């Protein structure tokens, strides 16, 4: 007798082993969404930088502890699964932060929460052109995908020289890029929440020139921010000051003394 396929693992991870995803925890929480090919662990260094908050991250299917989980049919389905998990847990996130592909997933999660009548968290979208203006995304041909990655963040020589590892990583990068390439549910969609769009001043031109129209997707306040760095500015300069400011705007969160404030909106 054939066994039914295992249920997909939960998507949301608490990044500090001493913490949890318990909604009764009084500390405010931020939920982070990684870039295409990214993992929840990408955001683990942020937890010590926001010690009086809880930093959670979404683990997409196909990597780390979800390596056996299949990719969703589309980006909206991915967002719906995350939103359902949030609603079932009773967690109330104060901020959703999405980087690159994660910006679109976070936006759709915010839309799902709005549709369910849940309280709208602030949305921070990072290094992403407005949905209708995003650059073309290849996802089928390996050579095309590798050239695409060269513009954003090339794979390390160690990965490229390990054929088995390269194949594994490209499998889920291609699946992520497929989701972005076919993402159309954004058309005419708006949320009723504060929306902050962040871009590195050295990001690729298609993103630098097309991030401000994110303002067309909210009925709330829109704040565009330009910061030093390229597409992955947040590796060297995590935007924890910005996130702390958004947490403080929605809660009684206080950022520890000694952390510099984020750049002014521009």
- Looking at residue 220, its pLDDT comes to 95
- Looking at residue 3, its pLDDT comes to 39
Q: Which one, of 236, 235, 237, lies nearest residue 262 by Cα?
A: 237
Catalytic residue among 41, 71, 100, 261: 100
Helices 163-181 and 101-115: crossing angle in degrees, nearest 10, is 50
CA distances for 72 relative to 31, 48, 68, 166, 178, angstroms: 20, 32, 12, 22, 10
Quick: pLDDT tens for 64-78.
899 889 999 999 999
- Looking at residue 168, its pLDDT comes to 87
Instruction: Respond yes or no: is residue 20 known to be catalytic.
Output: no
Residue 258's region, left for phi above 0, alpha for psi from -120 to 50, else beta, is left
Whether the Cβ atoms of residue 249 and residue 224 lie closer than 8 Å to each other: no
Quick: pLDDT tens for 138-159.
999 999 999 999 999 888 888 8
What is the distance of C-alpha 164 from the center of its chain? 27
Stretches in the chain below the pLDDT threshold 70: 1-9, 17-23, 251-266
The two tokens of residue 51 are 């010690």
E strand or H helix at 237: none
Q: The pTM is what? A: 0.90
């Amino acid at each position: 007798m054939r066994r039914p396929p295992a249920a997909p693992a939960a998507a949301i991870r608490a990044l500090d082993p001493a913490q949890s995803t318990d909604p009764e925890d009084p500390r405010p929480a931020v939920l982070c969404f990684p870039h295409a090919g990214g993992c929840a662990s990408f955001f683990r260094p942020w937890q010590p930088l926001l010690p009086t908050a809880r930093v959670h991250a979404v683990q997409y299917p196909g990597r780390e502890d979800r390596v056996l989980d299949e990719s969703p049919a589309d980006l909206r389905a991915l967002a719906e699964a995350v939103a359902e998990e949030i609603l079932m847990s009773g967690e109330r996130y104060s901020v959703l932060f999405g980087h690159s592909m994660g910006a679109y997933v976070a936006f759709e999660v915010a839309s799902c929460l709005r549709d369910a009548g849940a309280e709208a968290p602030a949305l921070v979208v990072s290094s992403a052109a407005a949905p209708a203006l995003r650059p073309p995304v290849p996802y089928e041909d390996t050579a095309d995908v590798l050239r695409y990655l060269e513009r954003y963040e090339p794979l390390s020589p160690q990965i490229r020289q390990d054929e088995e590892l390269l194949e594994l990583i490209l499998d889920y990068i291609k699946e992520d890029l497929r989701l972005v390439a076919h993402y159309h549910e954004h058309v005419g969609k708006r949320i009723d929440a504060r929306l902050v769009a962040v871009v590195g001043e050295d990001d690729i031109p298609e993103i630098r020139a097309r991030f401000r129209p994110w303002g067309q997707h909210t009925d709330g306040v829109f704040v565009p921010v330009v910061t030093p760095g390229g597409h992955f500015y947040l590796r060297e300069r995590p935007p924890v000051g910005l996130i702390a400011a958004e947490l403080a705007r929605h809660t009684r969160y206080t950022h520890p003394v000694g952390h510099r404030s984020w750049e002014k909106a521009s």
